[in-house]
Structure 1
Amino acid sequence: MPGRPNLLSGKRKYLFGLILFLFVSIITVAFSLEGNDDFDISRREVLLRKIGHELLLQSGDNKSRVLPVKKIAENEYLISFEHDLTFQPDSLVSTTRRLLSQDPLARDYVVNVLNCSNSSVAYGYAISQNKKDDIITCMGRAQPSACYMINIKFKSTDGHTAKNVYLLGSLPFLAFVGFLFLRSVKPQNTPPKEEQQTGMITLGPVLFDANNRKLIVNGQTTELTGTESRVLHIFALSPNETIERSRLQKEIWEDEGVIVGRSLDMFISKLRKKLEPYPNIKIVVIRGKGYRLEISA
């Protein structure tokens, strides 16, 4: 059956390309998530610096500097100032809430105002994504001018977790696609190279001339029809193996667009009669599965 190996090869290339495309797509999306996280974290540091800037303005200081924002832990930052300042808790809460609302990763966080001298907490509060869980105290009480640092600790984000879940969650899908790929490329028995070139296949004492649709024994020939030859060729490629009925129907009649169950039975019956003179070759019915070409020594 010329063209069949090329068709299978094309399917293999298609499936391999599909798996490769899916793998590259998953890796690309996963690492784009990480890239987005890096951008959001850099943006967060700018927002923190702006919080410090607005606190100085609210304190009446428009000249001194906000010192570089320090990242002291994975999700913890420290804002410090060049000079002393005073602050209103109401304004501090309002400012941090307004500016950090622009940070997509800042859903829950704790703010502590620390004394520079001993890092004791002068004032603190907690903001949650659910406002009912906010913890805010001492509103309306102005704090004295002193050296303060603003410590802001964010709840761990799900960015890296999401990336890991995305990667790990995709593995079963890739494994499933790979399983389908391996099934589709399951090696099939093929005749020796010289038989493929000449179309001559040895079936026990019988020589099957697939190109000329003949069975040859001791110089005597038995003619086969085109369909009989195609059916026998499928059996000849997998001798002593069960060939599913559905496979025979698909490979023989798929191109014609119509598959009739009785047609297969009819051609199998005709082929059996032509093989009757050769007792070492039999087409056996495997109930509920299909047929098998049995070749004995």
Structure 2
Amino acid sequence: MRHVILTVLLLLVIGLPGYSDGGKVLVTLRKIGHELLLASGDSTSWISPIEELDERTFLIRFQRPFAFQPASLVEIIHRHLQENQGPLHYLVEVRQEKRNTVAYSYEVRQPLNWKTIACLTRRPPRGAYTIKIQFAQPPVQTASIGRVGWLAGLLLTVLLMGVGWRLVNRKTLPSAPVEQASPLTLVHLGPLTFCLEKQILRLGADRIELSTKESKLLKVFATSPNAVIDRNRLMEQVWGEEGVFVGRSLDVFVSRLRKKLQPAPTVRIVNSHGRGYKLEIDSPKEPGQDG
């Protein structure tokens, strides 16, 4: 009986069609378009479906004209591609389709070298742009059931048979103790509560979500409240693992973090010219103290 079941399962696995994980890169590119619109102050317009021109070339189209900062655009695109696709060699073109011209372009070879990218501090005019990203190699691979798929199916079948056999023949064993989840790390910043693991701020019942970079930046500030933190220290602790960073990236994320702290006016980030930034937290006033 077991041999019959094994044969049926093998036939089912071998007969499976190929599969594709190409949707992963499309999701990554949509995230890039979403963050670029947010950086330009647009949180409502639509991003058109990502166009796959060929297996190496993709196009991001936008519903409305927008403005972009080259340094921010380079950072956003590279961060998402590196997190979701790994080290890549790719070319980016910001195109004005109506004029059939390239408004801005650059090429990235691993590791990212900011010195090779021109015009990082210039700001192109607002326009109806599309973004074309072309990879040197296809960013994802499509697998089909061949010899490798057949072997994988065989191993899977054997594994399933082993699990089924154990379930049928096992004896009742005492339940293992349930491990307690590690407590969350909470940092109180005036009226705000900062949860490091979940990357959120809470103000009463309100929840403010932070990005990974914003959370790392706030974590550094929280270690030394009301003290000026040097720019180099901030960049090293937030971007140090990536090996490359620019001062403009720090200013962009400080600006974003400031906006998310606005609901708590007693907590703010102050610029210390020529030195760095300081997280100021006002002390609670005693009852009867003048406001």
Same topology, TM > 0.5: no
TM-score, normalisation: structure 2: 0.41
Larger Rg: 1 or 2? 1
Higher RCO (Cα < 8 Å, 6 or more apart): 2
TM-score, normalisation: structure 1: 0.41
